[in-house]
Structure 1
Amino acid sequence: MTSLFQSHQLGELTLPNRVVMAPMTRVRAAAGGLATPSMATYYAQRATAGLIVTEGVQPSLIGQSNPGTPGLHTEEQQASWQPVTDAVHVNGGRIFAQVMHGGRVSHPDTTGTRPVGPSAVPAVGDVFTPTGPQPAPVPRALETSEVPEHARSYADAARRAVDAGFDGVELHGANGYLISQFLSSNANLRTDRYGGSVAHRIRFAVEAVSETVEAVGAARTGIRLSPGGTFWGVRESEVTELYTALLGELARLELAYVHLEATADEEVLVALRRAWPGTLVMNPVVPMGPKQTGRSEADHWLGLGAELISFGRAFIANPDLVERLRTGVPVAPVDEATYYQGGDAGYLTYPAHQYSA
């Protein structure tokens, strides 16, 4: 059976192991969406991962979901990421930027403008704002002529990412954000070529990925998906048909990988594994659910055909997670109160395991 600690060829990158650090929002960017020296240290500490995928990075101001998150749509933001990618590479790592357009999961108090989405249907729940949680506003439905501009924003951010030293990008097509909203059958009520049928609902995702592949190359492009997920109130009809059709279109583009979350029954996910001919990154547990991915879940999905396994929360408190998994050292618990509080506490303060003499 494939081992978690075997190497894997991902495009032009040779990953020394099959452990992926999953993208996790940490809201520690500086004003103006700039990456910081602390972010460089944080990612460099975790460079033993086969691949790091950063927190979600907004491709435009209107695409920003949460306050305190970094961007890749200005020259200053691009320059601020160079020390981060340099630090990871000096420490022997590989790093992709996750490009995340929040769509309707945003607020005017955060961006200064009304959020947009496929339809004028608000997300379910409160969104984060600079003054605290507030009810999700009704987004402005994008005109048909505007949609390609938002698809291109992923590609524009990808160009900046590569210019800033990233090894590639992952489009955030999961968890109720913009691509996921277009895939949805209740957030997307459109009657034009971007809504209604399965073929129309996948169009925005395919266009965003195609633009990105044209901008930086297929070997530098991945996408994260949450089949059947219900984040922020999205619902998807015809889940297996929807994602089988999407993966069929993406297969033509020969992406570096598809990153699936365990948001559907295993039978559905295994069917999608069969439908995808390329590298599959599997996140074996539901993000922010009661369980964290461990060695047993990783081995299970390697046995089901996944090539790479992503670990989220375990990486927060365990910068040396790969070594802990390799040696069986217990995984340290994470302090949830420090997820989003800012500062270096609960960010840079988790130590590697200390072996006794």
Structure 2
Amino acid sequence: MSKLWNPIKVGNMELKHRLAMSPMTRSRAYENGVPNDLTAEYYSQRASLGLIITEGTQPSDDGQGYMNSPGIYRQEHIDGWKKVIDKVHDNGAYIFIQLMHAGRISHPDNTPHHRQAVAPSAITPDANMHTAEGSKPIPEPRELSVDEIQDIIEEFKHAATSAIEAGADGVELHGANGYLIQQFISKNSNHRTDEYGGSIDNRIKFAIEVAQAVAEEIGSEKVGFRISPGVELNGIDEGDKEHDIHPTYVKLVEELNKLDLAYIHVMHFGDDELLPKIRKAWNNTLLVNRFGRPMENLANDIDNGLSDISPIGQWALANPDIVERIKNDYPLNEMDPTTIYGGGEKGYIDYPYYGNK
């Protein structure tokens, strides 16, 4: 029998099964970064997933990349998230806020201070960003000084503390998908010649320092870390598997393992040679979300010992009762791609439960 429905302890959390909700950007926060009034309903509807990992949430003004993404660094953010978290808890789920510093994946039009984006190096991602005036090329970012890197680590600590103050059960550090932490890790976005660039140890230094600082601030059992080895998103090119990707991520996971974090969350893009290496290097809970997997393969990695939890992404977006649908083999709602980002209730909290079509 599949282990998918077996309970599991993750950090301080007692989960009833091996599913969770993956972080998904929805761009529905108010302009000041406070979660939309509908956000509490959206996440609480999906409480049966047990562990909710929220959309990427910026730790500072500089950390914002997209329009209407939420923040967690001012009192109004804390107050807004508290309403969300309380409702999720009332519906029986745990919730981790994903801390996402976008780094160079930003546009001045989308940030409160309208300043140039920051990054490990002044290298553009050669991509466009949606703004209130339409799609615009992402400008070249400004290279961070060593002192500014330390300031950003402090911003992550403050955001983590703010998340806990809002009632969150923990935070997930977004080290994936081409955002700031991965910009440091990847050689093609990090051309630094100081202690934060060059060798593998130097390029993972920022990731480790952020994780260590946040773990010391709120407790390691309340910290998760997301990675996406080999992802080609937002201008990231991490090189070849044998010489670049595998040694980099094995070393990163080995160093994170020393911090005794609650979990690592792998966004898996098909590298089946690396996943066993990560599993071997990591002692605690491993979340694996395989991009494009069919429903019938949802439990495969768990049953094969390669992961402990299979997070659900877009299926959860369109199906608030996704756990019941999986258990009973009910058909799924189809996601409306036009309502993923921005807007109001439509495509957010109005997807029907099974039997209520």
TM-score (norm 1): 0.95
Q: Does 1:195 align with 2:197?
A: yes
Residue 295 of structure 1: how far off its partner (Å): 3.3
Partner of 1:257: 263
The residue type equivalent to 1:331 in the other structure is L
1:150 counterpart (149, 152, 158): 152
Aligned partners of 1:118 and 1:189 also within 8 Å:
yes
1:127 alignment partner in structure 2: 129
| 1:322 is the counterpart of 2:323 | yes
Deviation at 1:2, TM superposition (A): 4.7
Correspondence 1:227 to 2:229: yes
Q: 2:245 matched to which residue of 1?
A: 239
Asked whether the 8 Å contact 1:228–1:263 carries over to 2, the reply is: yes
Q: Distance in 2 between matches of 1:127 and 1:154?
A: 24
**How much is the aligned-residue C-alpha RMSD, in angstroms?**
1.3
Once the two structures are superposed, what CA deviation does each residue of 1:137-189 show, in whole Å capped at 9, x if it has no partner? 10000012211111222221110001001110000000000001000101000
- Report what 2:76 is aligned to: 76
Tell me how far apart the structure 2 counterparts of residues 298 and 86 of structure 1 sit (CA, whole Å). 30
Task: Tell me the equivalent position of 2:215.
Answer: 213
- Measured after TM superposition, the shift of residue 304 of structure 1 is 3.1
The one-letter code sitting in structure 1 at the alignment partner of 2:230 is: G
Aligned-partner residue type, residue 61 of structure 2: L
Deviation at 1:355, TM superposition (A): 7.7
SS at match of 2:59: coil
Q: Deviations over 1:49-98 (max 9, x none)?
A: 12110000000011001011100011111111111000000011111000
User: What is the letter of the counterpart of residue 119 of structure 1?
Assistant: S
Residues 284, 297 of structure 1: 8 Å contact kept: no
Contact 1:240–1:272, Cα closer than 8 Å, also in 2: no
Contact 2:50 2:92 in 1 (8 A): no
Partner amino acid, structure 1, of 2:193: T
Give 2:34's aligned amino acid: L
Partner of 2:349: 348
Match for residue 270 of structure 1 among 268, 276, 281:
276
SS in structure 2 of the partner of residue 127 of structure 1: strand
Cα distance in structure 1, aligned partners of 2:134 and 2:147: 34
Partner of 1:288: none
Q: Does residue 141 of structure 2 align to residue 139 of structure 1? A: yes
What does 1:113-124 correspond to in 2, within 5 Å?
Answer: 113-124=115-126
Measure the CA separation in 2 of the matches of 1:226 and 1:76.
31
User: What amino acid is the match of 2:261?
Assistant: L
Q: Is the 8 A contact 2:336 2:347 kept in 1?
A: yes
1:268: Cα distance to partner? 1.4
Supply the distance in 1 between the matched residues of 2:9 and 2:342 (Cα, whole angstroms).
Answer: 37
Identity level (%): 41
Q: Paired residues, what number?
A: 350
